[in-house]
Amino acid sequence: MIHVEGLTKYYGDICAVDHIDLDIHKGEIVGLLGPNGAGKTTTLRMLTGYFTPSAGRIQVKDSDMNEDPLSIKQSIGYLPESAPLYQSMLVYDYLDHVARIRGLRGDERFQRLQALTDLCGLREIMHKPIATLSKGLKQRVGLAHAMMSDPEILVLDEPTSGLDPNQIVEIREIIRRIGTEKTVILSTHILSEAEATCDRIVIINKGRIIVDGTTRELTTGRQRAGRIQLALQGAEADAARRLLETVTGVQSAEIEAGPDGAILQATVTCRPGTDVRADLYGAIKATDWVLLEMIRETQTLETLFGELTRES
């Protein structure tokens, strides 16, 4: 569906995107993951035809971006980060304007506007100026903009950034619903978001692809050193460290006095591929300490990155 070859973008001397090769198939939801400044937005801007690449080729279906950008733009719906819509227009006027530019006429246009109003939940705000909308509502209008021509490919740049938790859930829900029949490419710097919505994750750092794999491969296939945090009451620091380090599978334990002194915060690092929670609990149960908390740290993007860059 989308074929990208040697895609490169320079800003002056700075190389933002460095020879990216990517093939995206029909019906995939692809998450472009990376820290800020990794080149995600630049890549998406080139895919949508906003930026001209310094080198490389973009092919969508059978069209080449250099030769026939209009037909590619016709089949891509794009929502840039923070949905920069025309502030002074009313939501209805804006969507109507987009529908006309997208070439929808008469009844067809009216029906499409109706359908999008329902899908994105815009009925109440249809006659409000865009400038007065909250960020979440603007994002929904932006989604309606992107889906106007019922495009085969949807490109979303950080669709949930700056939204509150409820809005994030709503937007993800909409994306999943669209993703059942469309090809979706979205960028994010939140790993859990990519896990929750994408079939395939592409991790970019410093303009290069470091990892490209299905979500399942990335989250379960690799064996990582896990970390567990404990809060202990009535324990003494040295004794606690000695005890925790005797548990099989534990690599090291760090102890810190908690804010009020009585509670110790312990961070246990365990060997890859082991689950030591039961053994830890057993060891603590044998003492007279009280176990207040036991939290397995969820893998953050930072730790994943650390590992991935070390591996390569």
Partner 1 sequence: MRQTLLIFNKEFKDYFASPIAYIVIAIFLAFAGWLFFSTFFLYDQAEMRRFFDMLPFLFALLVPIITMRLFAEELNTGSYELLLTLPVTLRDIIFGKFLAAVAFVAAILLPTLFYALSISWIGDLDWGVTIGGFMGALLLGAAYAAIGLFTSALTRNQIIACIAAIVICVALAMLDQMLFFFPPPALDVLTHLSANAHFKNIAKGIVDSRDLLYFFSIAFLGLYATHLAMEDR
User: Which chain residues interact with partner 1 by CB under 8 A?
Assistant: 45, 48-50, 70-71, 73-74, 76, 78, 80, 82, 84-89, 97-98, 100-103, 145
For residue 268 the two structure tokens come to: 């246990």
Burial (0-12, 13-18, 19+ Cβ within 10 Å), 45: buried
Q: How far apart are CA 300 and CA 305, in angstroms?
A: 9
Distance of CA 84 to the CA centre of its chain: 20
DSSP state of 129: B
Give the nearest distance from C-beta 46 to partner 1 in angstroms: 11
Q: How far apart are CA 302 and CA 312, in angstroms?
A: 16
Closer to partner 1 at the Cβ: 14 or 70? 70
Give the nearest distance from C-beta 267 to partner 1 in angstroms: 42
Closer to partner 1 at the Cβ: 104 or 255? 104
Measuring CA to CA, which residue among 26, 24, 44, 25 is closest to residue 34?
44
Give the nearest distance from C-beta 111 to partner 1 in angstroms: 19
Give the nearest distance from C-beta 2 to partner 1 in angstroms: 15
Closer to partner 1 at the Cβ: 71 or 251? 71
Closer to partner 1 at the Cβ: 71 or 303? 71
Residue 122 phi, psi dihedral angles, 5° rounding: -110, 5
Measuring CA to CA, which residue among 96, 134, 130, 136 is closest to residue 113?
96
Beta carbons within 8 Å of 199's beta carbon, 6+ residues apart = 28, 29, 30, 214, 215
Give the nearest distance from C-beta 18 to partner 1 in angstroms: 21
Give the nearest distance from C-beta 88 to partner 1 in angstroms: 6
Closer to partner 1 at the Cβ: 93 or 212? 93
Residue 54 phi, psi dihedral angles, 5° rounding: -75, -30
Closer to partner 1 at the Cβ: 27 or 49? 49
Closer to partner 1 at the Cβ: 133 or 270? 133
How many C-beta atoms surround the C-beta of residue 151 within 10 A? Answer: 19
Give the nearest distance from C-beta 51 to partner 1 in angstroms: 9
Helix (H) or strand (E) holding 241: helix 237-246
